[in-house]
Amino acid sequence: MTDLHCHVLPFVDDGSDSVENSISMIEEAVRQGVKNLVLTPHYRKGFFFIEDKKVIEVFEDFKRQVEERNLPIKLFLGREITVFDDFSKLMESKEFLTIAGGKFVLLEFPYQTEVDIEEICYGVKLNGFIPVVAHVERYSYFRSVENVDRLKKSGVVIQVNASAVVNKSYSEENKFVKKLLKNRLVDIVASDNHYSRVNYMALAYKKVKAKYKDYADLIFKTNPEYVITQK
């Protein structure tokens, strides 16, 4: 599997506060069956605003430590960018970390305060990037099949969390993800893992595989692998 969204990189956000914790998360990802892992620390103004240069330095050092342990996993870098007031200026500058250095950018939106997700994604595309909407099930004001269908048809990539697939998140999120899976509107399932959370990738894959067969490989393997290989 390819996990496109996680907070494993130490010291840069709320994901992990030590190399030891991060290594244990990598080992767990391997046990879950993950072969490719994209580390996506938060880019969130006022909270996690460490500059990309520093994030890259931490990533290169951590990647070396993982390789020294001969763990069978490939690491890539990106960021989960939370939209903010002058977010459009960041997109226009093109000076931010995309997923694995390609054209895809992982975006997070406010959970309760309504924003125009479609309009924001449209602006991202105008700047030459492909939006990946992180954990779409979390945005209460956008929680309808029609909204996601329209977004997906516009060329936006739809990501949901493994915890919502296996009913280990809020019930409304789980119910919504079930509808999205039924309508084949999910493009990618990812862990969104933090050290304080459980990695549900293997269980989520098993549940989707049991019900939708070939669809599981598409959203856990084929689609996310495509994202990290497109430059």
Q: What is the pLDDT of residues 195-209, one digit of tens each?
A: 999 999 999 999 999
d(CA 28, CA 181): 26
Q: What is the pTM of this model?
A: 0.96
Q: What is the pLDDT of residues 67-123, one digit of tens each?
A: 999 999 999 999 999 998 889 999 999 999 999 999 999 999 999 899 999 999 999
Q: What is the pLDDT of residues 147-180, one digit of tens each?
A: 999 999 999 999 999 999 998 778 999 999 999 9
Beta-bridge mates of residue 76 = 38
Report the alpha-carbon distance of residue 40 to residue 72 in Å, rounded.
Answer: 19
State the pLDDT at residue 142: 97
Q: So what's the pLDDT on residue 47?
A: 73
User: What is the spatial distance between Cα 149 and Cα 132, in angstroms, rounded to a whole number?
Assistant: 14
Mean pLDDT of the chain: 96
What is the pLDDT, as a whole number, of residue 170?
Answer: 81
Tell me how many degrees the CA angle 200-175-81 measures, rounded to the nearest 5: 60
Query: Which H/E stretch holds residue 150?
Result: helix 145-153
The pLDDT score that the predictor gives to residue 45 is: 80
SS (H, E, C) the chain: CEEEEECCCCCCCCCCCCHHHHHHHHHHHHHHCCCEEEECCEEECCCECCCHHHHHHHHHHHHHHHHHCCCCCEEEECCEEECCCCHHHHHHHCCCCCHHHCCEEEEECCCCCCCCHHHHHHHHHHCCCEEEECCHHHCHHHCCHHHHHHHHHCCCEEEEEHHHHCCCCCHHHHHHHHHHHHCCCCCEEECCECCCCCCCHHHHHHHHHHHHCHHHHHHHHHHHHHHHHCC
CB 34 within 8 A of CB 228: no
Domains within the chain, CATH numbers bracketed: 2-229 (3.20.20.140)
Find all residues with CB under 8 Å of 69, minimum gap 6, and list them.
23
